[in-house]
Amino acid sequence: MDTGRVRISDEGPVAPGFRRLFEPLTIGNFTIRNRIVNTMHGTGLGEARDLRYLQERARGGASLLGVHASGGVYGYALGPGPRSASSDWDAKALSPLTSAGIAHYDDTVIPGLRRRAEIIHAEGAKAFAQVYHSGAARHGAHVGPAMAPSSVADPYEAVVPHALTDEEIEELVVCFAHAIRRTREAGLDAAEIHGAHGYLVNEFLSPYFNRRDDQWGGTRANRVRFVQRVLHEARTMVGADFPIGIRIGVDGDGARRGITVAELAEIARLLGPDVAYISVSGGNYAGFGDGLETAYVSPWSKEPAFNVAAAAAVKRVVDVPVIVTGRIIDPVIAEGILADGAADMIGMVRALIADPDLPNKARRGDAGAVRMCIGLSECHHIGPHRVPVTCAVNAAAAREDEMELVPAAVPRTVVVVGAGPAGMEAARVAARRGHEVFLADTRRTIGGTPAVLALDPNRRTMRDHSAYFETELRDAGVRLVLGNEVTADELVAFSPDIVVIATGGTPLVPEVPGIDGPNVVTAVDVLRGAVVGDRVLVVGGLDAHLAGPTIAEFLADQGRTVELISEQFDFARAVEDGTRLPLMHRLMTKGVTVSLLHRLTGVSEGGADVVQSFGQVARRIDDVTVVLACGLVPNDRLAREMQGRVPEVVVIGDALAPRRIMHATLEGARVANSI
């Protein structure tokens, strides 16, 4: 399958500044072409889309890719033992072993694994499969119990697990070994034991989760015994030369008596002689309960490359290659990590979701053209919300076939109004397909809402979004018409074949008495410099996303006394938890009062009235500036005015219905691909 895009081979010279990033490296019995690893992550895709997703990242230049386990191809068991009566919703027994010693997810997974290996190998890359068991950190609703070394609930899932017996642990050892055997038989280059992020193996390693006082717990030597037994059993099945790595990680600053950097290094010292490589990550689901930014998938607010110190500590005590992960989204940062000797390989997931061609672009000296991940973690909605992987900035992520850039059969004149995420993407894709494209906006700069959000120091990653499009739109030949409001008559004068309306939304203003008073401003006004008093009431209304919480944090950082009210029953409940819970933690530590189920009922000079929805408890807040952060309503006036005046009018993004950046980007790409 070909996407129609120009591909850059990994042959030829490497651009200055990236020598280390593109050095080959030998891992066990195979060699990878560079140091960029697409570390393991779930995608939630069916097999056909998953294969295409993997192909795109291998073709883009990544050297080693973890395969997605669609359809149970990890080969892990879920139940507590062969004689347990527990079953899941479909009444299938969830015993780890059959009488033949094969896990419930049996050898039928091998063909799917083999197809993934073949498609990755065809692009010159290597592949590994990650073997894991969820333990107490099991997502979703199940009839049967969770299982873990001890009956310690994962603070995020809040389910008390069954404490494994000796017999069950030995069964799981064999189960893990069979999963590794399947990896080899499927033709993958390596297997990786998942020992991080709060799952079963991590629970054995962690002194927080592992409270046992037998051979499987207590001392560090006992806590690593499960992994050592798995490695020994696997060797009897796959031989001595098949590479087996392990992913381990620290539990994050402030985590509950878990794995620190020092503890991680000692664990690595014990496991290093028996593994082909060590992948260092950080955080786990338990960190959500503490509001940690290092809780598994870290948000935009966490600094890049935050696991480097842990990786360096591991590298000092082992003689095998070390991978480091953790918001490493810039090839310049990646090169620096390698130059410092902190790691041997760079794990990238979100960076390659946002731009699978990042390796090729960096190699040829075009790193400035990389579409940077801006840390919104739309890709992580797969976990708690069970939706396939997607991306706020890359509409083609997991939609590679749909988003092929096929040259237009008949070039047309396209006018896009609104240079926000939807409009910029529509203009970019249409121009790349060969259309003549004009992009108009009342502002003098492109970027739309993300450009305004970037005025908040806490949202600085939004700057990367506009910077990417400044380069892309210029290179694609899009003609910018900025700085003046475009009227319907002016649009007609372009003689367009199609007008794309991407004029965004306008702030939603509650219909309450006094709302037009001098002490009322919008969140956008605040970011643009509007004066507010020392005491601020942020009105979130029914918005379930980030408008209210982020402006509340912005004002708290300025020393204001802030109360955030919301008509919702939960805090930013449409936001994935890796972003939401750390944000809640920051607001509370910064003194922001969060009042749920509260709505604004009126504003008068110098004050505001609110009511608690359940119980109708009213109160007055004096001497306060009211900041409206209730979301948006569509700005569709121009769309209505244009109907019938040009051959075709299409409305996209917030002008159609206010949603998230991901929706705007996707709609922009889809409409441009349809022209």
Measure CA 182 to chain center. 29
The pLDDT tens digits for 616-658 are 999 999 999 999 999 999 999 999 999 999 999 999 999 999 9
3-state secondary structure 91-104: CCECCCCCCCCCCC
Provide the pLDDT confidence category of residue 9 given band limits of 50, 70 and 90: very low
Residue 571 has a pLDDT of 82
CB contact set of 596 (below 8 Å; sequence gap of 6+): 565, 566, 568, 569, 570, 571
Give the pLDDT band of residue 72 (cuts 50, 70, 90): very low
State in Å, rounded, how far the first CA of the chain is from the last one. Answer: 22
pLDDT at 385 over 70: no
Res. 157 pLDDT band, cuts 50 70 90: confident
Whether the per-residue pLDDT at 155 is higher than 90: the answer is no
Q: For 169-178, 268-277, 541-550, which range has the lowest pLDDT when averaged over its residues?
A: 169-178
Q: What pLDDT sits at residue 592?
A: 98
The reply to whether 520-630 shares the fold of 75-342 is: no
Return the pLDDT at 140. Answer: 64
**Tens-digit pLDDT profile for residues 20-32:** 999 999 999 999 9
φ/ψ of 617, rounded to 5, equals -85, 115
> Does residue 69 carry a pLDDT above 80?
no
Residue boundaries of the structural domains of the chain: 75-342, 413-507+635-674, 520-630
Provide the pLDDT for residue 90.
47
Secondary structure element (H or E) that encloses residue 633, with its range: strand 632-634
Distance CA 539, CA 537 (A): 6
Structure tokens at 633: 């309503």
Torsion angles phi and psi, residue 406, rounded to 5: -90, 130
For 93-107, 299-313, 462-476, 624-638, which range has the lowest pLDDT when averaged over its residues? 93-107
If residue 48 lies in a helix (H) or strand (E), which one and from where to where?
helix 47-59
Give the dihedral of Cα atoms 598, 600, 601, 602; nearest 10 deg. 150
pLDDT attached to residue 167: 86
User: Mean pLDDT of all residues in the chain?
Assistant: 89
In the structure encoding, which two tokens stand for residue 520, read together?
């009322």
CATH class in words for 413-507+635-674: alpha beta
- Helix axis angle, 47-59 relative to 110-121, nearest 10°? 30
Query: Mean pLDDT, to the nearest integer, of 419-440?
Result: 99
> Which DSSP string corresponds to 268-292?
HHHHGGG-S-EEEEE-BGGGGGGT-
> Given this model, what pLDDT does residue 256 score?
64
Adjacent-strand bridge partners of 593: 563
pTM for the model stands at: 0.93
Would you state the pLDDT for residue 85? Answer: 38
Question: In the structure encoding, which two tokens stand for residue 246, read together?
Answer: 């392990």
Mean pLDDT (whole number) for 276-290: 85
How confident is the model over 401-410, as pLDDT tens digits? 999 999 999 9
> CA–CA separation, 128 vs 242, rounded Å?
11
Helix axes 166-185, 110-121, angle to 10 degrees: 40
Q: Which CATH number fits domain 75-342: 3.20.20.70, 1.20.1250.20, 3.90.1150.10, 1.10.40.60?
A: 3.20.20.70
Residue pLDDT, tens place only, 73-117: 233 444 444 444 344 444 444 444 444 333 435 677 788 889 999
Lowest mean pLDDT among 19-28, 296-305, 558-567: 296-305
DSSP bridge partners of 562: 536
Report the pLDDT value the prediction gives residue 68, as an integer from 0 to 100.
61
State the pLDDT at residue 11.
56
DSSP category for residue 573? T
**Whole-angstrom Cα distance, residue 151 to residue 159?**
9
CB 560 within 8 A of CB 532: yes
The pLDDT value given to residue 269: 99
When mean pLDDT is compared across 48-52, 55-59, 88-92, 332-336, the lowest value belongs to: 88-92
CA dihedral angle for residue 113, residue 114, residue 117, residue 122, rounded to 10 degrees: -150
The mean pLDDT value for 339-343 works out to 98
Residues 6+ apart with CB under 8 A from 644: none
Q: What is the pLDDT, as a whole number, of residue 387? A: 76
pLDDT tens digits, 494-532: 999 999 999 999 999 999 999 999 999 999 999 999 999
Which pair of tokens denotes residue 276?
């082909």
pLDDT (0 to 100) of residue 301 = 86
Taking residues 587-609, report their average pLDDT: 95
In this predicted structure, what is the pLDDT of residue 91?
A: 46
Residue type present at position 424: M
Q: Which residue has the tokens 């009431």?
A: 537
Confidence of residue 141 (pLDDT cuts 50, 70, 90): low
Measured in whole angstroms, how far is the alpha carbon of residue 85 from the centre of its chain?
37
Determine which helix (DSSP H) or strand (DSSP E) holds 366, and give its type and residue range: none
- Reported residue count of the chain is 675
Q: pLDDT higher for 90 or 195?
A: 195
* Separation CA 138–CA 77 (nearest Å): 12
* Among 310, 347, 312, 362, CA closest to 128: 347
Domain 520-630: homologous superfamily in CATH: FAD/NAD(P)-binding domain (3.50.50.60)
For 464, phi and psi rounded to 5 degrees?
A: -65, -30
Letter for the amino acid at 605?
E
pLDDT interval class at 302 (50, 70, 90): confident
- The separation between CA 303 and the C-alpha centre of its own chain, rounded to angstroms, equals 15
* Strand partners of residue 538: 564, 627
CA distance 629 to 539: 6
Does the pLDDT of residue 287 top 70, yes or no?
yes
Distances (CA, A) of 299 to 380, 405, 496: 10, 31, 41
* 243 and 189 Cβ atoms separated by less than 8 Å: yes
How far apart CA 187 and CA 192 sit, in angstroms, is 14
DSSP 151: S
Percent of the chain with pLDDT over 70: 88
